[in-house]
Chains A and B, each alone.
Chain A
Amino acid sequence: EPEVTQTPSHQVTQMGQEVILRCVPISNHLYFYWYRQILGQKVEFLVSFYNNEISEKSEIFDDQFSVERPDGSNFTLKIRSTKLEDSAMYFCASSEAGGRMYEQYFGPGTRLTVT
């Protein structure tokens, strides 16, 4: 069964540093997403991406965040200047099409620790 993959599985960085989290969505999917989950809290939507542009973003997704699809397979989340409160599990997801009736497939996540 095809799956979403994410690298690295764990990233430790110092406050103020830039990090790039990488994802490879399922190959025939057209919509891509990033979510995050702070330890012990609920999963929160960050951004969705379609046709090489952001289609929706949450209040969390401020100017320090950006997303990119640099080639035909990767989808990245960049955090420009990390803060302690950015420490969380970051999940990438993809779906065949947009709309709630389309299942979103999640990757295993990247645990980001900001020290």
Chain B
Amino acid sequence: LAKTTQPISMDSYEGQEVNITCSHNNIATNDYITWYQQFPSQGPRFIIQGYKTKVTNEVASLFIPADRKSSTLSLPRVSLSDTAVYYCLGDPGAGSYQLTFGKGTKLSVIP
């Protein structure tokens, strides 16, 4: 089971760009890097997924260096509604479809 490491918490002011970095030293060569978001008292929600380089969608960007040992989730111009826990998912192992959540990064956006 490949473990991920990310900061426990981060604070940011509204309107700023937030970057959350996750290390996943033992990621499998064929595994995707996936990030989920969870608001209080709600189920997790998929944000973005990538394999290498950069992926961008309407919510976030994901930067993955060539060695794939880390990834950075970038949230442009955060608002109060972006206050949530952000999870970088670990690799559960070959043939497993389960999502493996760590403790995540609790992002608090301050007015």
Contact = CB atoms under 8 A, between A and B. Distances in A.
Contact of A43 (B31, B46, B97, B101): B101
Nearest to B49: A101
Interface string B20-45: 00000000000110100010011111
A103 B47 CA distance: 9
B42 A108 contact: yes
B76 interface: no
Contact of B44 (A31, A43, A100): A43
Nearest to B33: A100
B43 A107 contact: yes
Interface residues of A, number: 27
B46 A103 contact: yes
A15 to B, nearest CB: 24
Q: Majority SS of interface residues in chain B?
A: loop
Contacts of B49: 101, 103
A75 interface: no
Nearest to A47: B98
A81 interface: no
B32 A42 contact: no
B103 A109 contact: no
B5 to A, nearest CB: 14
Nearest to A100: B32
Contact of A45 (B41, B45, B98, B103): B98
Given A33-B98, A56-B98, A101 B41 contact: no
B100 interface: yes
Contacts of A58: 98
Nearest to B45: A106
A110 to B, nearest CB: 10
Contacts of A31: 97
Interface of B: 31-32, 34, 38, 41-46, 49, 87, 89, 91-92, 96-104
